[in-house]
Amino acid sequence: MRQLTRAAAAVAVSLCVGTGAALADGLDELTEEIVARTYNSEMIDPAQPIEASIYRDWKSPSEPPWTIGYASSYAGNTWRAAVMDRLIQSILPKWQELGLVDDVFVTQSNLNDSVQIQQMRQLVDQGVDAIIVCCSNPTALNATVKYAYERGVPTFSFTGYLTSPYAVNSSVNYQLAGFEIGEWMAQEVGGEGNILVVEGIPGTSGSDSQHRGVLLGLEAYPDINIVGEIAGMWTDQVAQGEVQKWLATNPGQLDGIVVQSAAEMGVLRALQQSGREMAPVAIGGELGALCYWRKNPDYISTTFQVWPPGDDFELIWNIMMRTLQGQGPRIQSILVDPFEFTYADLEGVLDANCDENSQLWLEVGPAAWGAEDYLDQFFVRPADPTQYQP
């Protein structure tokens, strides 16, 4: 397992660090290495909010134990199930035992922005001290995020950003990650061939940013043909059905499929059932799909982890706790690096008797996904949030 390096080197070359170019407030307080790797203007979603955070000198008006609202936008895939498992089985009991959190209220809006807005307002009116959202429309919630802020309730968005200045965001740099995946696929098929692209949920920032990066990575190779773009909705069943329909109506040569996790198991099943040759598929963190690779070592050369679900939620949780405690985030979006897994890495976590139907996920662990010393650099007054004494 290793953090991505190929694009980072190219990014550093194009970055105006040390050339006199001014960085935005907050960014200029980070190390050149972090800025070069994850905040390069040539390899970041142009709508990604990276200005100074409005919470720099803010502290919760309430004392702990705090009540947290999780306004989830969707519950219909394995990724969301893994998030809930980490929250209920690990995170909540830990912070309750520390005496810093009393409860978490969870709502589900099933991809309906209006419902999510209503649920968030209800959470605020019911007295929560902070709200976490996931993978949402980047602009639709902004008025509600301001409504919450004006009542002393900050909003934290993980696995995608909100454009509101009153939100704090965390994720990988999805455009960079998508570029790496697209570039890898182009190289995997020898620099030429027909590639199908399966994006996530169109209109969400995490999906759109990664999709943009994938297209850029593929288009860097003139002999690569993008023969289709369909939406897998980050759900195996949806992706399987959509890819099956595409394969049935497009009988020509297909050399590879780039798919956003969590939908790679559905894509693999669609290929298997089609009777076609098993073209390379960009596998993410689903253990069932990784198990297929474990049993077929020559299938692909590597995989990319861009949003391990439990780790992604724990990252925004730790950012939230630090902010509530008054540590002061420097910038609006705290970005981390994606990870690349080789087959040798996979052998260390899955044995040959693994289950290709597993609904579980490969996590990289909180110590590798926004570690404490890494997060310290993004806060004005960093401290171990578990040691907070009101």
The confidence score (pLDDT) of residue 8 equals 40
In which element (H, E) is residue 229 found?
Answer: strand 224-231
233-275 pLDDT, tens digit per residue, is 999 999 999 999 999 999 999 999 999 999 999 999 999 999 9
Q: Which two tokens stand for residue 133?
A: 């959202």
Measured N-to-C along each axis, helices 264-274 and 287-295 cross at an angle, to the nearest 10 degrees, of 50
Task: Say if residue 14's pLDDT is above 60.
Answer: no
| Side-chain-side CA neighbours of residue 123 (13 Å) | 33
The confidence score (pLDDT) of residue 102 equals 98
Domains of the chain in start order, with CATH, are 2-43 (no CATH), 66-171+308-336+377-384 (3.40.50.2300), 174-305 (3.40.50.2300)
In which element (H, E) is residue 226 found?
Answer: strand 224-231
The Cβ of residue 122 has, within 10 Å, a number of other Cβ atoms equal to 14
Q: Residue 270 in 3-state DSSP?
A: helix
Residues 207, 229: contact at Cβ < 8 Å?
no
Between CA 168 and CA 162 the distance in angstroms is 8
pTM above 0.85, yes or no: yes
85-95 pLDDT, tens digit per residue, is 999 999 999 99
The Cβ of residue 116 has, within 10 Å, a number of other Cβ atoms equal to 24
Task: Say if residue 4's pLDDT is above 70.
Answer: no
Between CA 258 and CA 255 the distance in angstroms is 10
Q: Name, in order, each residue with C-beta under 8 angstroms of 381's C-beta and a sequence gap of 6 or more.
A: 326, 327, 328
Percent of the chain, pLDDT > 90?
Answer: 91
Task: Say if residue 38's pLDDT is above 70.
Answer: yes
Strand partners, 231: 199
Instruction: State the chain's mean pLDDT as an integer.
Output: 93
Q: Residue 239 in 3-state DSSP?
A: helix
Length of the chain measured in residues: 390
100-109 pLDDT, tens digit per residue, is 999 999 999 9
Give the residue among 240, 261, 263 at the shortest CA–CA distance from 178: 261
Q: Residue 169 in 3-state DSSP?
A: strand
| pLDDT bracket for residue 23 (50, 70, 90) | confident
Residues 148, 246: contact at Cβ < 8 Å?
no
The confidence score (pLDDT) of residue 390 equals 87
297-330 pLDDT, tens digit per residue, is 999 999 999 999 999 999 999 999 999 999 999 9
Between CA 45 and CA 206 the distance in angstroms is 10
Q: Which of the two residues, 190 and 20, has the higher pLDDT score?
A: 190
- DSSP output for 287-349: HHHHHHHHH-TTS-SEEEES--HHHHHHHHHHHHHHHHTT--BSBSEEEE--EEEEHHHHHTT
Q: What integer is the mean pLDDT of 187-193?
A: 98
Please name the residue that has the structure tokens 């409860």: 103
Q: What integer is the mean pLDDT of 128-143?
A: 95
Q: What integer is the mean pLDDT of 270-287?
A: 97
Residues 295, 346: contact at Cβ < 8 Å?
no
The confidence score (pLDDT) of residue 145 equals 98
| pLDDT bracket for residue 37 (50, 70, 90) | confident
Task: Say if residue 6's pLDDT is above 70.
Answer: no
**Amino acid letter, 222:** P
Percent of the chain, pLDDT > 70?
Answer: 94
Residues 251, 93: contact at Cβ < 8 Å?
no
